[in-house]
Amino acid sequence: MQKIAPCLWFDGNAEEAARFYTSVFSESRIATTLHYTDAGPGRKGDVLAVTFEIEGQEFMALNGGPQYQFTPAISLFVHCASQEEIDRYWARLLDGGKPWQCGWLQDRFGVSWQIAPDALLQMLRDPDTAKANRAMQAMMNMVKLDIAQLEQAFRGE
């Protein structure tokens, strides 16, 4: 068990979200499901919370009610080693959601994700600021990130 695990607040669909997320990532599983008891505040037997793991990271999905909504102020960053990974995660997580600029998307549950290649992070850290700036500018003009286009911009082609 991790010392710190993100808790995601849902309005009645925490179990559905946890099942969806564990279907997207190969190294994932549902760990536990807790149900409301007679003590409430929800209806006895309904799902209170689901603990699940994605790629070794523990999360909790809580059915907390309609009081709070997700915002892009918090997002989940997915490190991708290839364009194939970007394409796969983008397609799966975008199903029922909406795309944003710079490799961001919001899934059908309202959770924000950043689907980005590790290669971009290396480009942005390059000591040659002209190269890094070209990569940043290319990224800013993309919705789903394209490694080949980022690399071309980085090289100045």
CA 104/CA 144 separation, integer angstroms: 7
Overall pTM surpassing 0.75 (yes/no) = yes
Q: What three-state secondary structure class fits 91? A: helix
Query: What are the structural domain ranges in the chain?
Result: 7-63, 75-155
C-alpha distances in Å from residue 66, one per residue of 9, 98, 135 = 9, 21, 40
Q: Which CATH superfamily is domain 75-155 in?
A: 2,3-Dihydroxybiphenyl 1,2-Dioxygenase, domain 1 (3.10.180.10)
* Secondary-structure class of domain 7-63 per CATH: alpha beta
The model's pLDDT over 109-120, given as tens digits with 9 standing for 90+, comes to 999 999 999 999
The model's pLDDT over 71-114, given as tens digits with 9 standing for 90+, comes to 999 999 999 999 999 999 999 999 999 999 999 999 999 999 99
Burial of 98 (0-12, 13-18, 19+ CB in 10 A): exposed
